A and B are shown apart, each in its own frame.
Chain A
Amino acid sequence: MRERMRLAATRDLELLRSTLVAGREPTRPSISICAGTGCRAHGAMDLFDEFRRQLDAGGLDDVEVRATGCHGFCERGPLVVIFPKKIFYHGVKPKDVESVIEKTIRNGEIVESLLYKDPVTKEKSLLEHEVPFYAKQQRIVFRNNGKIDPTCIEDYIVADGYVALARALTGMNPEEVIDAVKQAGLRGRGGGGFPTGRKWEICRAQPGDEKYIICNGDEGDPGAFMDRSIMEGDPHSVLEGMTIGAFAIGAHKGYVYVRSEYPLALANLTEALEQSRSYGLLGRDIFGSGFAFDVELIRGAGAFVCGEETGMIASILGDIGSPRQRPPYPAESGLRGKPTNINNVETWANVPVIIERGPDWFAGIGTEKSKGTKVFSLVGKVKNTGLVEVPMGTTLREIVYDIGGGIPKEREFKAVQTGGPSGGCIPESLVDLPVDFEKLTEAGGMMGSGGLIVMDERTCMVDVAKYFLNFLVDESCGKCTPCREGLFQMYSILSRISQGRGQAGDIELLEQLGTYVRDTSLCQLGGTAANPVLSTLRYFRDEYLAHIEKKECPAGVCKELVTFRVEADACTGCGLCKRVCPSESIAGEKKEPHTIDMATCVKCGVCYEECRFNAVIAE
């Protein structure tokens, strides 16, 4: 293992890179295995071990195998990409390792069964960028995921890592860095969308020598895992971005706040910090510029509200993560009363690439007001779930259908929830909306941190609102009356409605409470908490009315209001429902119509979901 020596100047970095590049054979095949948390759960590390073992045993120890960060196509994992051509194999199992090595590595041939096949066109894609899922993406934040081993800083350096930092520290002054970020038009990726350059400028302008920067890696939205994948897969991009930002603002200490539910991100960041320090990329006099900066890793303790700026600051200091009233804003008075700049993981990860390729290049991507790309976690009732990075301005239709592959089981697209529990539902009628900060907010949704939950005809919007409200009631810190009491009451009403005990005036009361919570809460948890309810009421009011007036759940979800039965005419007797029923309530012979026993049925709806012949009816 090479010893890491301090890089005292830019020249040393260039020297190191050229040395590393020289030591690599670009034409020799190398294997990237997606080792993000998702694929690990699918056995990616077993795959890794198997590859390494067989390669070594077969005398191919010069073929590199890398456990990389998340490749994004989570639906089809475990994913293996063979470099340099970037042949894309999906659903790879340890039993496939032998044929991959024999055919592809040794002989350059393809293992057809592992190629991606489009479910509609039946076309197979060979290379990664040909796969429809990736074709429309522009992977800037994820530029290195899938390419580098996140625990090896040398991979990052070979991929032009730290060039931006060197340029900023030795070739620019802080104001120029801020101008570049402003010109690029980068806006906060955590949900607020505040212009990043402007935010840095405000913090820089504060008096005093003691300033802090914080990286918000709390990612509390359920279903969101963009930041996780960045921290796991390319931690140096975040650290480099933070160092550049600290230089621009005049801070010498940074914190990365990672929720404790991300152990791999914590581990990879810890490793990255150590390696950076060894090279002198963190610490005193970085690149001989005189600028000193270091980073401390803070582990969260399980509270969504700690993703809020002042809640996070309190948590860093060991206090209860309860937000405080503002002004003063953290940029003016934050950690320990000093000017503090907080940005999201994805925001920081964009910074090096802006400095390296220039602000104009970045500003050339996206819309007039929303520049660059955005990473979305595309989940829910969609064929291709995973992480999607698209230029701002891409329409929801493109994301859901072209990249996402559309709704499975030929079901109807109903709505997409954007922005997690703080966001709102965009109905089918608005699916040509481009993803853009302003446009989404106008429609009652929110960019948020990038969660995109696709819903079909079998998603009950009342249930969705109830789900998010339940989450927020649980995560509310409890400090202010509107959030603590208001959300509780709203949830109570929604519960009643979903159980068939809704009464006249409930919708008006929900709207009244929702408006109150939105306008009077102390922080943005409460401030946006009413969004799911208010937006579903806006676009799906009749669904609410059906629950209240007719005591019906049209989507067939709300347990108290639905019963399942098998339509004998449509049933083919395939027995799938019987197999999947968790309470063993379905009886029937093969090829005979099946029946559901109401007495033991728990109304989980799995039979309804799984039946391929639409023979299970919900009424």
Chain B
Amino acid sequence: MIKLTINGNEAEAAEGQTILDVARELSIEIPTLCHHKAIPPTGACRICVVEITAGARPGLVPACAYPAQDGLEIQTDSERVRESRRMTLQLLEARCPEAKVIQEMAAEYGALDLPLERKDEKCIMCGLCVRVCKEIIGPAATCFAGRGPEREISTPYKLLSEVCIGCGACAFVCPTEAIDPAEFCSIALEKIPNEFNCGLDSRTPVYIPFPQAVPNKPVIDRENCIHFRTGGCGACKTVCPADAIDYDMEDKVVEEEVGAIVVATGYQLMDPAVYEEYGYGKYPDVVTSMEFERMVSASGPTGGGLHRPSNGELPKTIVFLQCIGSRQETDGKPYCSKICCMYTAKHTILYKHKVHDGQAFVFYMDVRSGGKNYEDFVRRVVKEKVATYLRGRVSKVFPRGGKLMVRGADTLGGGQVEIAADMVVLAPAVVPSSGVQELAQKLRIGYDQHDFLLEAHPKLRPVETNTAGVFLAGACHSPMDIPESVAQASAAASKALGLVTHERLTREPTIAVVDELTCNGCFECENVCAYKAIERKEILDKDGVVTAVLAHVNEGLCQGCGACGVTCRSKSLEVEGFRDLQLFSAISAISR
């Protein structure tokens, strides 16, 4: 253990720690600019200087790069330190007048008023971009060019970089937004779209999917993670204080024996780009309801600020289009998506909240507001003039003079209307999540032509499926909103619990039975049984000698399909309740 004194207080440090490490552990503030916790320090900017008063040659040293040593006495905020920091800030401000980080730090150290020669740079020469690319990511695409005041950040020979992988780490660490990799990267730069925010902003390869994620722990996207792509970086592992990152972790296949399964795979919105008339995907100001939801969310990509995607301005006129893809006999979904009328009404209220003098229009076919207090809600929206409801469909959305012209029908008012909108929000049809068909086949449950999963009985058994032990809940069954999904979830949970809380298993009596007199042990039935319910039973004589091995049906496993009976050459297997004799009788009865 190294013992040193900071600001008169004794402190302990481990081998390899710098003065800055020790100070941070003691919650002592020391400003930094060229320091980053994942990159080895360089001591270039000098803003983090502290004063050594004893224990080594007295003077100012950079806390980020000076190792903690036994017997050091350090002052982090003496007059000499403050003077030096102030001067450093003066010089950097004269170099980069627009740099916000300098102005913010300057507030702490007093007015920057020396009559220095002004420059017009953006880069403060902290070197973080060069260091991160060389020491963490690996390619060393950027480098220092030139010397002294002429020094600049560039690529070797100022050519387009052949080695830049477009990871954007340099832009990420730059404290003054001075570097733009697009200027020297020879490959197309793509940000990773943040899936939870509908791609409206980007995320890093190691990320927590969304604020309420359970578990609320980050995950590494292997496809985009630099470490997995190039073997470099590893910054996350370096900085994790819990040492929780293990790049060698592999996906595990977990096999669990369970007594019940609840399928709650939810829904997604249909892609409205197929309806070219609305211009989704063509005009940036045409968004889906989910994108709008994320935009106005305080935890969303804009922190709740509503801006026109095209130019960042506040939208003063916004038009909501209902039934995009729903209730379409041809080229869409024939059903009603149920939730859109209500959420659109909510969106108009949210919009009015943010843009008090904004105007909202809703083009609708019918307003479906059947739930508890739902009708009241919609009435309020209309009565309090939060939005103007226009009954009719929109034929076309097209740009004109910086706005989007929404042309539709107003069937109650009569005639065509054209609204100049700043933003258009589409309410796309609700469809089941992708991959549901494959899952249903695995679980042996039914689904309809829209991929909504089939309940055992539409009226009497809404949360059960035809397969024992598999239950449904939520929008995988049909479009529904939160109260309904919750009700279904409770129901499915009860049903599932009901299964597993009994001591004895109750089952249908229609199982196969072997006639041991006629069975000759060929076991063709064994090949055919999908449930491995055919077992081999040894028949013993009175002396205990095995005289035959015959088929035997396991009552717990057999589901009573009857395939074995048909296969049996000697007709030794019959399904109770569906015996040949019974069926023949039925045939005879009907045929007469």
Interface residues of A (CB under 8 A from B): 303, 305, 320, 322, 324-325, 327-328, 473-489, 492, 503, 505, 509, 512-513, 516, 519-522
Contact = CB atoms under 8 A, between A and B. Distances in A.
Given A478-B125, A481-B125, A513-B87, A520 B49 contact: yes
Contact of A327 (B49, B66, B84, B125): B66
Nearest to A509: B114
A519 B46 CA distance: 11
A486 B91 contact: yes
A480 B144 contact: no
A481 B148 contact: no
B151 interface: yes
A516 B116 CA distance: 14
Given A520-B46, A522-B44, 8 more contacts: A324-B43, A481-B88, A482-B46, A485-B91, A485-B94, A488-B148, A509-B114, A516-B88
A305 B91 CA distance: 22
B246 interface: no
A480 B46 contact: yes
B554 interface: no
Contacts of B114: 509, 512
Contacts of A512: 87, 114
Nearest to A513: B87
Contacts of B65: 325
Contact of B42 (A303, A324, A489, A519): A324
B67 A484 contact: no
B148 A473 contact: yes
A516 B148 contact: no
B88 A520 contact: yes
Contacts of A480: 43-46
B148 A475 contact: yes
Contacts of B243: none
B62 A489 contact: no
Given A303-B147, A327-B66, A478-B149, A489 B46 contact: no
Given A324-B42, A325-B43, A481 B150 contact: no
A512 B84 CA distance: 10
A351 B150 CA distance: 41
A325 B35 CA distance: 13
B374 to A, nearest CB: 63
A324 B87 CA distance: 22
21 contacts: A320-B143, A320-B144, A325-B62, A327-B66, A475-B147, A475-B148, A476-B147, A477-B151, A478-B147, A480-B46, A481-B92, A483-B148, A484-B149, A485-B92, A485-B94, A485-B95, A489-B91, A503-B115, A512-B114, A520-B49, A522-B62
B146 A478 contact: yes
A129 to B, nearest CB: 44
A486 B89 CA distance: 11
Interface of B: 41-47, 49, 59-60, 62, 65-67, 69, 80, 83-84, 87-88, 91-92, 94-95, 114-117, 124-125, 127, 143-144, 146-151
A489 B84 contact: no
A200 B172 CA distance: 45
A480 B42 CA distance: 9
A303 B88 CA distance: 25
A488 B49 CA distance: 21
Contacts of B88: 481-482, 516, 520
Nearest to B51: A519
A520 B62 CA distance: 9
Given A320-B144, A478-B148, A509-B114, A519 B84 contact: yes
Contacts of B124: 481
Contacts of B149: 473, 476, 478, 484-485, 487-488
Contacts of B59: 519
Contacts of A486: 87, 91
Contacts of A325: 41-43, 62, 65-66
Nearest to A474: B148
B66 A516 contact: no
Nearest to B43: A325
Given A325-B43, A519-B59, A520-B60, A478 B151 contact: yes
Contacts of A478: 125, 144, 146-151
Most buried by B among A475, A477, A485, A489: A485
B148 A477 contact: yes
Given A473-B149, A476-B147, A519-B59, A481 B67 contact: no
A359 to B, nearest CB: 28
A328 B43 CA distance: 13
Nearest to A328: B67
Contacts of A482: 46, 87-88, 91
B148 to A, nearest CB: 4
Nearest to B146: A478
